[in-house]
Amino acid sequence: MNTPSIYYIMNHVDLNMGVWYPMGGIGVVIEKLYEYCIERGVEFCFKEEVTKMLTEKNNAISVKTTKGSHEAESIIVTADYPHSELELVEEKDRSYSKKYWENRLFAPSALVIYVGLDRKLEGLEHHNLYLAGDWGMSFDTLYDVDDPEWPANISYYVNLTSKTDPSVAPENGESVFILVPVPDDFEDTPDMREKMYHQIMAHIENVSGEKLLGYEKVKRIFGPEDFIQDYNAYKGTSLGLVHTLNQSAIFRPSHRSKKLKNLYYNGHYTHPGIGLPLVLISSQILAKNLLEK
């Protein structure tokens, strides 16, 4: 394993301190943050993709979008870091080169399956993790950059939030979230998605003794191509940079641009790293630095 042993503290956090679930679903966190911002005069411009960042004398002066442009004294980028560096600013203004990103170790992508069932699943809990027999080899195939492929024996995670939160599904239904790690840069086709969907669902039926196929009322499969299209995710990664020793803490990409004095970056690429809690901490770190500045 390439992960530093310090990350074993995550086991302590999960098992001894607990994992908190926001009633109403993770979207409630976003809604509350939005309300908090609106109350403080923040203006949001939705459905307006940024296409370019304009610079002048080592400063970022405005962002160009599909609907116009916005000038700013300071700019904070929360979009995909390599996309922002390689696509939105000129080469002379980049903190990190194209070669830098090509040499980073990225987390795999994921096949995310959202299913709404019109029946209850008594044989499953809120959290369900299945590890294939030789799960080490299974995960190794995800990082084979020369020949990425779907693992023959698939490990996956199943989350039933409706076990804890009745509001996310009808009274006699179940909200099912399935996460299957898959390689980056892998051909993501509708046929392959359906093949994997039926394979995973049939396997869940086999290990849980519960019927899922045929009870779907809502179904959506979100894959590597969606991560690229919706989030401009570099190589279709679902998480970003892996937490190896030289990609942890101060070795992660900088919060502040090395070329533009008023440009800042925030999110899962910066310190402390990936995951919603860490991204929120990243925001607190950047906010503290900006206020002190």
The full set of domain ranges for the chain reads: 45-104+241-292, 109-230
Question: What token pair was written down for 125?
Answer: 């809990």
CATH number of 109-230: 3.30.519
As a whole number of angstroms, the distance between CA 171 and CA 161 comes to: 13
Q: Is 15 exposed, middle or buried (0-12, 13-18, 19+ CB in 10 A)?
A: exposed
Record: fold of 45-104+241-292 = FAD/NAD(P)-binding domain (3.50.50)
Span 104-120, pLDDT tens digits = 999 888 999 999 999 99
> Are both 45-104+241-292 and 109-230 of the same fold?
no
Span 212-225, pLDDT tens digits = 999 999 999 999 99
CA-to-CA separations, 177 to 2, 130, 203, 283, 286, in angstroms, rounded = 28, 14, 15, 27, 32
The band of 37, judged by pLDDT with boundaries at 50, 70 and 90, is very high
What is the helix (H) or strand (E) element at residue 210, kind and residue range?
A: none
Position with higher pLDDT, 246 vs 184: 246
Span 182-205, pLDDT tens digits = 887 667 899 989 998 999 999 999
pTM of the predicted model over 0.75: yes
As a whole number of angstroms, the distance between CA 153 and CA 134 comes to: 8
The band of 149, judged by pLDDT with boundaries at 50, 70 and 90, is low
Mean pLDDT of 278-283: 92
Strands laid side by side in the 216-222 sheet? 127-130, 156-159, 174-182, 109-117, 216-222
